[in-house]
Amino acid sequence: MHDDDHLRFTDLIRTFGRLRVLDGVSGTVSAGELLLVTGANGSGKSTLLRCLAGLLNPQSGEIVCRIDGEEVDIETRRRTVGWIAPDLAFYGVLSAIENLNFFAKLRGVDPARGSALLKRMGLPPGRAAAALSSGMRQRLRWAFALLHRPPILLLDEPLQNLDAPGRAVVLELLGEALDYGALAVVANPDPLEMPHVARRLTLGG
Amino acid sequence: MWRDASRWAAESYALFVKEWRTEWRTRHALSTVALFAFTTLVVTSFTLGPAGTGSAMRPVLPIILWVILLFASTAGLPRSFVHEEETGTAAALRLSAGPFAVFAGKFFYNLTLLLALEVMIVPLFLVLLQVPVADPMRLMLAMLTGGWGLAAASTLIAAMVGQTQNRGPLFAVLAFPLLLPLVIFAVRLTWSAIEPSTAPLAVDPGLMALRLLLLYDGSVTVAGLMLFPVIWNP
């Protein structure tokens, strides 16, 4: 990671039909920092994160991402981010470890990393993803997001459904990621009691 | 470049293995495809009897075979991308694998599924309808090249259908113009395996059909690889 690594978005506009969800949203977050995006339901938090991840194109505006001192294109950005979202799902017939091994192979990561993350998350590796509780599924999303030690973390409602020990583990992992130089954008309807928050952005207000 | 190619191959292989692993546990596509093919085959054999022994019905037999394969595949193959979108796994896949690898992994899964279907259906078809095969090599080529084209076109169409809301009718609308030439060439090549032409090699209709099939397969595969990133990513 380089000190000048950052994610900057300027004047993002995104509409769905006649509904303008993002109306000139701007912000920036640097390596080792966490940007907390808050706002009411429907204010565009998830849309903003999807645009930043490269899963959705804004109609106008600019997203600039620098990783390891180099500006990267949308394809690289998409492959690089660690992503958590409420609608992120896994293959239900595969076990938690089979899901992580599959994504590890796609990302060229040692499968041992997946096992280590599952152990730390306290997840039963052999249980089918479809048989996980909502809290366990959220832990699996965290393991998926951190699998490849991403330089960018885009986390949409990352503490949803987690119990107190679960929150403690994921916040510890988030802190470690920020320590190694990752940057994070966290979206949540309410201001979270989160450590590491360096910047704040409120949408729809 | 070699590093990129090897990464691409590893991603495609991982996706291919995942497709078969999930399919083996649920058997959604296998059961749909096999049930349709076996039912149609049994009904056809009961109705027509040993049609291969009489010369009047024989030209219809390759058409029946390819109609069975076409409809069996359209009953099972379009689900691959729709299922990813409906269950919410598409985002994880988009973020983890390159579009070429996704297309290749899904394509090889569809191809092997079709070849497995052909291995089950074709011998039964030949036995039940007592179809004489004069040139088994040509029949194998027809199944391979026809299966390749069908898998490539189905993968591409399934990817388009997966991105839309009105999924049911769209597959049929897109599949008809894209698959029609393939089925025509495959029927001609299959017919030439049953009833070899006495024409010189240069104008042999079977070989002509094989060339057109190879051209079709190459074109659809290349078009699929080129178009897929645009279809798959926003």
How large is the ipTM?
0.91
- Nearest-by-CA chain A residue for B86: A89
On the CB side of A164, CA atoms within 13 Å amount to 0
Test B91 with A88 for CB contact under 8 angstroms.
Answer: yes
pLDDT band at A51 (very low <50, low <70, confident <90, very high): very high
Sequence-separated contacts (24+) of B46-50 with Cβ below 8 Å: B48/B129, B49/B129, B50/B129, B50/B130
Given B25, B87, B96, which is nearest A89 (Cβ)? Answer: B87
Q: Which is higher by pLDDT, B74 or A154?
A: A154
Cα A94 from Cα B20, distance rounded (Å): 11
pLDDT band at A37 (very low <50, low <70, confident <90, very high): very high
Q: In 3-state terms, what secondary structure has residue A183?
A: strand
Test B96 with A79 for CB contact under 8 angstroms.
Answer: yes
pLDDT at A205 over 70: no
Determine the residue among B12, B28, B96 to mutate to test chain A binding: the one whose Cβ has the most chain A Cβ atoms within 10 Å. B96
Tell the residue number behind the tokens 């988030």, with chain if given: A174
Q: In 3-state terms, what secondary structure has residue A5?
A: coil
Share of chain A above pLDDT 90, in %: 79
pLDDT band at A11 (very low <50, low <70, confident <90, very high): very high
Q: Is A114 in the B-facing interface, judged by CB distances under 8 Å?
A: no
pLDDT in tens, A156-167: 999 999 999 999
pLDDT in tens, A95-130: 999 999 999 999 999 999 999 999 999 999 999 999
In chain B, what is the straight-line distance between the N-terminal and C-terminal CA atoms, in Å? Answer: 26
Cα A136 from Cα A126, distance rounded (Å): 13
Residue A157 tokens read as 């409602």
Given A54, A94, A106, which is nearest B96 (Cβ)? Answer: A106
pLDDT in tens, B208-227: 999 999 999 999 999 999 99
Task: Write down the mean pLDDT value for chain B.
Answer: 89
Average pLDDT over residues B146-173: 86
Q: Which is higher by pLDDT, B29 or B52?
A: B29
pLDDT in tens, A172-183: 999 999 998 899
Cα B232 from Cα A100, distance rounded (Å): 22
Whole-prediction pTM value?
0.91
Q: Is A94 in the B-facing interface, judged by CB distances under 8 Å?
A: yes
pLDDT in tens, B160-218: 988 887 766 787 788 888 999 999 999 999 999 998 777 777 778 889 999 999 999 99
Contact between residue A49 and residue A38 where contact means Cβ atoms under 8 Å apart:
no
Partners of residue A87 in chain B, C-beta under 8 Å: 88, 91
Test B88 with A89 for CB contact under 8 angstroms.
Answer: yes
Strand ranges (E), chain A: 6-16, 19-30, 34-38, 60-67, 70-71, 82-84, 152-156, 183-188, 197-202
Partners of residue A89 in chain B, C-beta under 8 Å: 87-89, 92
Query: Which residues in B have their CB inside 8 Å of a CB on A?
Result: 7, 10-11, 14-15, 18, 21-22, 25-26, 87-89, 91-98, 101, 233-234
Given A79, A81, A90, which is nearest B89 (Cβ)? Answer: A90
Distance from CA of B224 to the nearest CA of A (A): 19
Test A105 with B101 for CB contact under 8 angstroms.
Answer: no
Test B234 with A55 for CB contact under 8 angstroms.
Answer: yes
